[in-house]
Amino acid sequence: MTDPKSKYAASSAGAKSEGHTPYPRQEASIVLSHIIFAFIALLVGGIAGLLQGLVRGGMLTLPGGIGYYQLLTAHGVLMALVFTTFFIIGFLYSGIAQTLGGKLLPATRRFAWLGFVLMAAGTVLGTIMILQNKATVLYTFYAPMQASVLFYIALVLLVVGSWSSGFGMIYQYRYWRRKHQGKLSPLFAFMAIVTMLMWLIATLGVAATVLFQFIPWSVGWVDTINVMLSRTLFWYFGHPLVYFWLLPAYMCWYVIIPKIIGGRIFSDALARLSFILLLLFSIPVGFHHQLMEPGISPVWKYIQVVLTFMVVIPSLMTAFSLFATFEISGREKGAKGLFGWVKVLPWKDVRFFAPFMGMLIFIPAGAGGIINASHQMNGVIHNTLWVTGHFHLTVATSVALTFFGIAYWLIPVVTNRVLTPAMNRLGIIQTILWLIGMLFMSGPMHAVGLLGSPRRTAFTTYNDHPDAVLWMPYHVAMAIGGTILFVAVILMVYNIFAMMRAPRGETPYPLGEVADQAEPTPKLLERWRVWIAIVVLLILFAYTIPVIDMVRHAGPGSPTWITW
């Protein structure tokens, strides 16, 4: 397993060994449709990203009719909302099928396809609105900027589609549990259910603001919008959104990576507990995105910041567990010395290399998050390019590289093909390009953010103000980084399609097993009623009084602003 060449040799050229069943066709088409859609979104979002980076660096003037903020909206929506959601749902369905019976139930498949069709329709409609310049509101669609009602309908389709996908997974999970009374569910399936539960609870916030605030306002039934309430409901959803991206990456780190490195999962109980803690604490923390906003009492900001620091704990547990897995597996292979285990990791295997680089980058990325969450330091970095740098390290590096690493085995698995050594090499090159691009882009974003350069801003030197002139070399470096990243996007998309034409053969689904010495998992961790009740209580505690305050002491509301 650790030497990619020997593995390919064993399984390539159409060899069929006893006991390997080809991946079922119907499940494969569900998984592939989601993954391919995700990578098309990545490509289109990448083009927008390249152009906007060159504009901001002062290296390109857009032809008439295309706006910088229009590109920024397309980039954010397609990368942050569409690429991630489609990839995650495809990946989770693959593992749900694999671990809960080997196939999806007919009803699950119907939920999955309904979800796919609704989400795809939402994406197409939303993209058309953005391209027509009728929805240049960025991916956070902050009021009082107003998009066409069709953009909000597109969001509804995207969210309702994702609900259908979530219901499908829950349906299959419940069926499995009925058939396996008293048994602990497979770790992958458990984690998928936590992820989708969190998503279902979190998206209620965005559904509420879109249905009850944005749609009535954009069709003219009401003249004004309560801006503070809409932002609060957005961030009620917006923070767990980032964990919706992160949890599937953690699933890969906990469950898949141990198998790929030839080791074992350090502890099933620890992995489940960290997911439960993420479920509990990822939602009632949205105020840490609104620390600089007026209208929210400092007491409630303080409480949500405390909860934010609670949500850091499961990430620290994850780091501990990963180090343990790497070290134990290295020592079993004979590694000596304090860091000898690092040398025996399978560095030449892209299925390990890409997610590992994601983990490594998550150390500084997470540290940046902790800085953001500290109220006083948030005053320094809020609304600067530092924040853009933060999320390009977290979601666009740690998460994206992990998703790429997953694609390098998931596509061969579902297409009954093998990853050839040549593709593996291209994958490693693609990962290195991504890292270099991100170094050029995200590093300067952090630095120039500290010098005060604002985020969400087109090219300007503010009448050659000395501060703004000082920022320019950083913006040029960001543009160079963005260009390298675009080349890496092209290579990734090429690799995806190349893998679908790779030689036929067996690629097993790499699910790790738990180490023999791990403690047994307490049944309590799968008592959903308990955890959902605590989530609800925490949300009510963190949000009830501030939200009542925002409604009862609402300002006059804002009329429509179309700033583009």
Terminal alpha carbon distance of the chain: 54
For 14-67, where are the alpha helices, taking DSSP H only? 25-56
Give the shortest CB-250-to-ligand HAS separation in angstroms: 8
Residues at the contact surface with ligand HAS, assessed by CB under 6 A: 140, 242, 245-246, 288-289, 308, 311-312, 315-316, 318-319, 322-323, 342, 359-360, 362-363, 366, 369-370, 372-373, 378, 382, 387, 390-391, 394-395, 399
Closest CA to 170 of 86, 252, 105, 85: 105
Write out the catalytic residue numbers.
239, 243, 390-392, 455-456
Instruction: Name the minimum Å distance from CB 425 to ligand HAS.
Output: 23
Minimum CB distance to ligand HAS, residue 61 (Å): 26
Nearest residue to ligand HAS by CB is: 366
Q: Give the shortest CB-373-to-ligand HAS separation in angstroms.
A: 3
Q: Based on CB atoms, which residue is closest to ligand HAS, 357 or 539?
A: 357
The set of residues, in sequence order, having a beta carbon less than 8 Å from that of 323 and lying 6+ positions away, is none
User: How near is the Cβ of 390 to ligand HAS at its closest, in Å?
Assistant: 6
Q: Which is nearer to ligand HAS, 242 or 410 (CB)?
A: 242
In terms of CB distance, is 147 or 414 closer to ligand HAS? 147
Of 169 and 385, which CB lies nearer to ligand HAS in the complex structure? 385
If the CB atoms of residues 363 and 540 are measured against ligand HAS, the closer one turns out to be: 363
- Secondary structure class of 145 (helix, strand, coil): strand
Q: Which residues pair with 561 in a beta bridge?
A: 145
What letters, b where the CB count within 10 A reaches 16 and e where it falls short, cover 342-354?
A: eebbbeebbbbbb
Question: Could you tell me which residues come within 8 angstroms of residue 10 by beta carbon, excluding any fewer than 6 positions away?
Answer: none
Q: At what angle do helices 350-373 and 385-393 cross, to 10 degrees?
A: 150
Identify the three-state secondary structure at position 39.
Answer: helix
Q: How far is the CB of 466 from ligand HAS (least distance, A)?
A: 26
H helix or E strand, kind and range, residue 313: helix 298-332
Q: Contact at 8 Å (CB) between 305 and 376?
A: no
Which of 387/418 has CB closer to ligand HAS? 387
Residue 404 and residue 354 in contact, taking contact as beta carbons nearer than 8 Å: yes
